[in-house]
C-alpha cells in the first residue's frame, strides 16, 4: 500500500491551536536522515512492522539535514505518521490505550486502522482505542506565531519514548523556512490531547532561524578566517619573492658584486703600530662612529680620529681611501698615519692621525668671523677645487686615482687652513666611483647595492634625489657627483652669506646654516623633503647680491646652476671651479672646460642701472 499525500495543503484553524509569540523566521530543514536516506515511504507493503520500526527510528534523529526542493509539506507529514499504515502482523498488547484521534484534511490514507474509533462525531477531536500498542502520538506544526495540530492517534508499536506519561514535543523537520514540525509519543490515556511544552519559534529547542543563523554565521566566520589566513600566506610568499627579485635586479643595476677589500681580512690590531709619542689633548668633535681629538705627534699638531672596536669596518674603509696613491691635495685634509691606542685605559681601538687645522670647521669659522669679497671667494674657490679633485679619475706618474664621491659635504666636515682656504675632511662615507679606466686590483672597492649607494650623511645637505630616493642607479657614479655639487652650492651660499661686500651696509646677518631660516636648527627629513623636493625652494639670495659691482649676476646664476632640481642640469665641480676663478679675475679671459657653459652672456656684464657699488 502507498501513502498518498497532497502536494499543497491549506490547514484550517482548530480549537486546540495555540498562538505563540513571533520570534523570527524558522530555517529550512532537510527531510532526510543523517545517512542521507529519504524519509518518504514508497511502494512498501502494508503490515510491515520491521520497516515501520526502522522508519520511526530514523525519525528520531532527523532534523539536522536539509530537504530536497521537491518534497512537499504533506509528504513530510505523512512520513511522520508512518504508523498510519494498515495494522501490523504483531499481536495486540494485553491491555489497551485510549488516545485522541485527529487528521488534518487533505491527507490521503489514515492511521485510524491502528485502532478502533469510539465515537463517530463529525467534528474533531475524536477518541481511538489502540489495537497494536499502548502508545499515543501527536504532530504539531509550529509557524511564526502559532502552533497547530496536524495528526493525533495511535502508534503501531511501543517504541522508546512511549513510556513518557506526558506529550513532550521535539522538533523533527522543517517543511518550510518559517515552520517546524514537532512530534511526541506518550503512554497514558489521552496524553496526546495537549503538549506539555512547545518551545517558541527561534528558541534552541526549535532549531529555529536564530539557531541556524548562528550555526551558519559561525561557518561563514570560519570560512572567512581560513580565507584570510590563506590570503595572508599568499601575500607573505609574494613579498618574499618580490624582495628576492628586487635584490637580484639591484645587483644587476649596481654592477658586479664587489670583491673583498684587500684590508678586510687582515688583523688590524697586530698590523697597526702603537705610537708612544702620540699625545691626546682635548676632544674637538664627537661623531656617530668616532671621536676626534686634538693632539701632538713628534711636536706636530695633529687631529686624532679614534674609532671604537665596533666601528673597525668604518676605520678600514676610510683608511683605504686616505692611503690611495695620488690623493694628496692642498684642499684635502692630509693623512699622516694609522695607529692603535687611545687616551684611556681601554686604549686598543684603531686611530687615524690627520693634519690639524686650528681654525676649526667652516661652520665654526663663519659663526665667529665675517670676510670680505676676496676672502669669501678664496674659501669658495678652494672648496670647489678640492671637490673637483675628489671627483676626478686619473692616472698620474704611474699612480691611479679613482673618482671619489664624498657624500657628506657639510660645513662641519670642511676645515679652514691657516691661509684662509678650505680643506675637505671626513671621508667616512666617501665612495670609490666606477670609471672609464679599470682600477687596479689593490684599489679599494665599496658595496654597490642600492642601500649602500643611497646612503648619505647630513640630511640638511642631502640632494633632492637622495631625499626622495630617486637617485639614478643606472649611472650612480655621475649621480653621486651631482649630489655632491648640490651640497657644494649650499656651502657656497653659507660662505657668501657672511661676506661684508655683498651687503650695502657691510653688516651681514648672524651666520645660519642652509635652510635654518626656513626650518630651524634641527629639520626633519619630512620637512626637508617638503621644502626642497615638493616646493623646490632653496636658501634665500638677497637682492643686493645681484648688484655687486664685480659680479652683476654671476653669483645667483652659479648657485642656481648648482642646486637645480634636475640633477642633470647641474654644473660639475670642475665647472664650478672655473666659474669661481672667472669671478676672482674678471679682467682676464678664461677658457671653460668642454660642456661647461659660461656664467652669463656678455651683455650682462654691465652693472644694472639700479645697482650701486657697496659703500
> Any idea which residue has 511526541 for its cell?
184
State residue 338 phi and psi, 5-degree precision. -115, 145
**Each residue's pLDDT tens digit, 92-143:** 445 788 999 988 887 666 788 888 888 766 666 789 999 888 999 998 888 8
**CA of 98: how far to CAs of 91, 135, 158, in Å?**
17, 9, 14
Residue 612 is given by DSSP the state -
172 pLDDT higher than 80: no
Residue scoring higher pLDDT (237 or 262): 237
Handedness of CA 201, 203, 205, 210 (dihedral sign): positive
Provide the pLDDT for residue 103: 87
- Is 408 designated active site? yes
**Each residue's pLDDT tens digit, 333-357:** 999 999 988 886 556 789 999 999 9
Provide the pLDDT for residue 51: 34
Confidence label for 457 from pLDDT (cuts 50, 70 and 90): confident
**CA of 516: how far to CAs of 90, 313, 342, 499, 524, in Å?**
108, 33, 36, 18, 12
Rounded to an integer, what distance in angstroms lies between the CA atom of residue 352 and that of residue 311? 13
Of all residues in the chain, the percent with pLDDT exceeding 90 is 33
Provide the pLDDT for residue 164: 85
Rounded to an integer, what distance in angstroms lies between the CA atom of residue 510 and that of residue 368? 9
305 pLDDT higher than 60: yes
378 pLDDT higher than 80: yes
Based on the number of CB atoms within 10 Å of its own CB, is 495 exposed (0-12), middle (13-18) or buried (19 or more)? Answer: buried
Rounded to an integer, what distance in angstroms lies between the CA atom of residue 9 and that of residue 31? 17
Q: Coil, strand or helix: which one is 557?
A: helix
Provide the pLDDT for residue 409: 96
Q: Give the DSSP letter string of 292-337.
A: EEEEEETTEEEEEEE--GGGHHHHHHHHHHHTSTT---TTBPPEEE
Provide the pLDDT for residue 273: 84
Provide the pLDDT for residue 413: 94
End-to-end CA gap in the chain: 129
Residue 82 is given by DSSP the state G
Provide the pLDDT for residue 579: 92
Provide the pLDDT for residue 450: 78
Q: For the chain, state the CA radius of gyration.
A: 50
168 pLDDT higher than 50: yes
Residue scoring higher pLDDT (408 or 88): 408
State residue 497 phi and psi, 5-degree precision. -70, -15
Based on the number of CB atoms within 10 Å of its own CB, is 395 exposed (0-12), middle (13-18) or buried (19 or more)? Answer: exposed
Residue scoring higher pLDDT (132 or 160): 132
274 pLDDT higher than 50: yes
Rounded to an integer, what distance in angstroms lies between the CA atom of residue 464 and that of residue 529? 7
Rounded to an integer, what distance in angstroms lies between the CA atom of residue 346 and that of residue 331? 34
Q: Coil, strand or helix: which one is 156?
A: coil
Q: Coil, strand or helix: which one is 176?
A: strand
Confidence label for 514 from pLDDT (cuts 50, 70 and 90): very high
30, 33, 156, 408: the catalytic one is 408
Give me the mean pLDDT over the 35-61 stretch.
Answer: 36
**CA of 311: how far to CAs of 239, 308, 316, 429, in Å?**
33, 5, 9, 13
> Any idea which residue has 655687486 for its cell?
548
Residue scoring higher pLDDT (18 or 138): 138
The torsion angle over the Cα atoms of residues 449, 450, 451 and 457, rounded to 10 degrees, is: 110
Long-range contacts: 292-298, Cβ < 8 Å, 24+? Answer: 293/343, 294/356, 297/336, 297/337, 297/353
Residue 500 is given by DSSP the state G
Mean pLDDT value across the chain: 75
Residue scoring higher pLDDT (487 or 602): 487
459 pLDDT higher than 80: yes
Q: What global pTM score does this model have? A: 0.55
Provide the pLDDT for residue 251: 52
The b/e string for 226-265 (b: 16+ C-beta within 10 A; e otherwise) is eeeeeeeeeeeeeeeeeeeeeeeeeeeebeeeeeebebee
Q: Coil, strand or helix: which one is 401?
A: strand
The residue ranges of DSSP E strands in 385-527, in sequence order, are 394-396, 399-401, 404-405, 414-416, 422-424, 431-432
Q: Coil, strand or helix: which one is 383?
A: helix
**CA of 286: how far to CAs of 257, 283, 291, 390, 536, in Å?**
33, 7, 4, 25, 33
Sequence-distant (≥ 6) Cβ neighbours of residue 260 within 8 angstroms: none
Residue scoring higher pLDDT (422 or 545): 422
Of all residues in the chain, the percent with pLDDT exceeding 70 is 67
Q: Coil, strand or helix: which one is 6?
A: coil
Q: Does domain 362-436+448-606 have CATH number 3.30.450.40?
A: no
Q: Within 13 Å of residue 157, how many CA atoms lie on the same side as its CB?
A: 19
Phi-psi region of 436 (alpha: psi -120 to 50; beta: other; left: phi over 0): alpha
> Any idea which residue has 635584490 for its cell?
247
**Each residue's pLDDT tens digit, 398-456:** 788 889 999 999 999 999 999 999 999 999 899 888 876 565 555 565 555 777 888 88
Provide the pLDDT for residue 34: 34
**Each residue's pLDDT tens digit, 387-407:** 999 999 888 777 888 899 999
Rounded to an integer, what distance in angstroms lies between the CA atom of residue 605 and that of residue 303? 45
516 pLDDT higher than 90: yes
Whether omega before 125 lies within 30 degrees of 0, making that bond cis, reads yes
Give me the mean pLDDT over the 242-267 stretch.
Answer: 56
Residues in the chain, how many? 615
Residues 183, 82 contacting (CB under 8 angstroms): no
Q: Give the DSSP letter string of 30-60.
A: -SB-TTS-B----SPPTT-HHHHHHHHHHHT
Which range, 42-51, 132-141, 304-313, 487-496, is most confident?
487-496
Residues 488, 577 contacting (CB under 8 angstroms): no
State residue 231 phi and psi, 5-degree precision. -65, -40
Rounded to an integer, what distance in angstroms lies between the CA atom of residue 507 and that of residue 88? 125
The CATH homologous superfamily for domain 18-207 is CD59 (2.10.60.10)
Provide the pLDDT for residue 537: 95
Which CATH number describes the domain made up of 265-350? 3.30.200.20
Question: Which of 231-245, 336-350, 372-386, 466-480 is the least confident region?
Answer: 336-350
Amino acid at each position: 500500500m502507498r501513502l498518498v499525500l497532497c502536494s499543497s495543503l491549506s490547514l484550517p484553524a482548530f480549537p486546540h491551536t495555540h498562538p505563540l509569540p513571533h520570534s523570527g523566521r524558522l530555517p529550512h530543514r532537510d527531510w532526510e536522515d543523517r545517512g542521507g536516506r529519504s524519509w518518504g515511504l514508497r511502494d512498501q507493503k502494508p503490515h510491515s512492522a520491521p520497516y515501520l520500526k526502522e522508519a520511526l527510528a530514523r525519525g528520531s534523529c532527523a532534523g539536522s539535514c536539509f530537504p530536497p526542493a521537491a518534497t512537499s509539506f504533506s509528504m513530510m507529514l505523512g512520513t511522520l505518521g508512518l504508523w498510519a499504515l494498515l495494522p501490523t502482523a504483531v499481536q495486540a498488547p494485553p491491555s489497551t490505550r485510549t488516545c485522541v484521534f485527529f487528521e488534518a484534511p487533505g491527507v490521503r490514507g489514515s492511521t485510524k486502522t491502528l485502532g478502533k474509533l469510539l465515537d463517530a462525531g463529525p467534528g474533531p477531536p475524536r477518541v481511538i482505542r489502540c489495537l497494536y500498542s499502548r502508545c499515543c502520538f501527536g504532530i504539531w506544526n509550529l509557524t511564526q506565531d502559532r502552533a497547530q495540530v496536524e495528526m493525533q492517534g495511535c502508534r503501531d508499536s511501543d517504541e522508546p519514548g512511549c513510556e513518557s506519561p506526558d506529550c513532550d514535543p521535539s522538533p523533527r523537520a522543517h517543511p518550510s523556512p518559517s515552520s517546524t514540525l514537532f512530534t511526541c509519543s506518550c503512554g497514558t490515556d489521552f496524553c496526546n490531547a495537549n503538549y506539555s511544552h512547545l518551545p517558541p519559534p527561534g528558541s534552541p529547542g526549535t532549531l529555529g532561524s536564530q539557531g541556524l543563523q548562528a550555526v551558519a554565521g559561525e561557518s561563514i566566520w570560519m570560512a572567512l578566517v581560513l580565507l584570510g589566513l590563506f590570503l595572508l600566506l599568499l601575500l607573505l610568499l609574494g613579498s618574499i619573492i618580490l624582495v628576492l627579485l628586487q635584490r637580484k635586479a639591484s645587483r644587476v643595476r649596481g654592477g658586479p658584486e664587489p670583491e673583498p677589500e684587500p684590508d678586510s681580512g687582515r688583523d688590524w690590531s697586530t698590523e697597526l703600530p702603537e705610537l708612544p709619542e702620540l699625545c691626546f689633548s682635548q676632544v674637538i668633535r664627537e661623531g656617530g662612529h668616532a671621536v676626534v681629538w686634538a693632539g701632538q705627534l713628534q711636536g706636530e699638531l695633529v687631529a686624532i680620529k679614534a674609532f671604537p672596536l665596533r666601528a673597525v669596518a668604518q676605520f678600514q674603509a676610510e683608511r683605504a681611501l686616505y692611503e690611495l696613491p695620488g690623493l694628496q691635495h692642498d684642499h684635502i685634509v692630509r693623512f699622516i698615519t694609522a695607529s692603535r691606542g687611545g687616551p684611556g685605559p681601554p686604549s686598543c681601538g684603531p686611530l687615524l692621525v690627520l693634519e690639524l687645522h686650528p681654525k676649526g670647521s667652516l661652520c665654526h669659522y663663519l659663526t665667529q668671523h665675517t670676510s670680505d669679497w676676496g676672502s669669501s671667494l678664496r674659501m669658495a674657490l678652494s672648496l670647489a677645487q678640492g671637490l673637483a679633485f675628489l671627483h676626478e679619475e686619473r692616472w698620474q706618474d704611474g699612480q691611479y686615482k679613482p673618482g671619489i664621491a664624498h657624500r657628506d659635504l657639510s660645513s662641519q666636515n670642511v676645515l679652514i687652513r691657516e691661509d684662509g682656504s678650505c680643506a675637505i675632511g671626513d671621508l667616512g662615507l666617501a665612495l670609490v666611483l666606477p670609471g672609464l679606466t679599470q682600477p687596479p686590483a689593490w684599489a679599494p672597492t665599496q658595496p654597490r647595492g642600492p642601500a649602500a649607494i643611497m646612503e648619505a650623511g647630513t640630511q640638511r645637505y642631502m640632494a633632492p634625489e637622495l631625499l626622495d630616493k630617486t637617485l639614478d642607479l643606472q649611472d650612480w657614479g655621475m649621480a653621486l657627483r651631482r649630489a655632491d655639487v648640490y651640497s657644494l652650492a649650499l656651502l657656497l651660499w653659507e660662505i657668501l652669506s657672511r661676506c661684508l661686500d655683498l651687503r650695502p651696509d657691510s653688516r651681514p646677518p648672524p651666520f645660519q646654516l642652509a635652510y635654518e631660516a626656513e626650518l630651524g636648527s634641527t629639520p626633519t627629513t619630512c620637512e626637508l623633503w617638503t621644502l626642497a623636493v615638493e616646493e623646490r625652494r632653496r636658501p634665500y639670495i638677497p637682492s643686493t647680491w645681484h648688484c655687486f659691482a664685480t659680479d652683476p649676476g654671476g653669483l645667483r646664476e652659479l648657485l642656481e646652476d648648482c642646486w637645480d632640481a634636475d640633477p642633470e642640469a647641474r654644473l660639475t665641480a670642475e665647472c664650478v671651479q672655473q666659474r669661481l676663478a672667472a669671478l676672482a679675475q674678471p679682467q682676464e679671459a678664461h677658457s671653460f672646460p668642454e660642456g661647461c657653459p659660461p656664467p652669463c652672456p656678455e651683455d650682462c656684464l654691465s652693472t644694472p642701472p639700479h645697482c650701486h657699488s657697496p659703500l
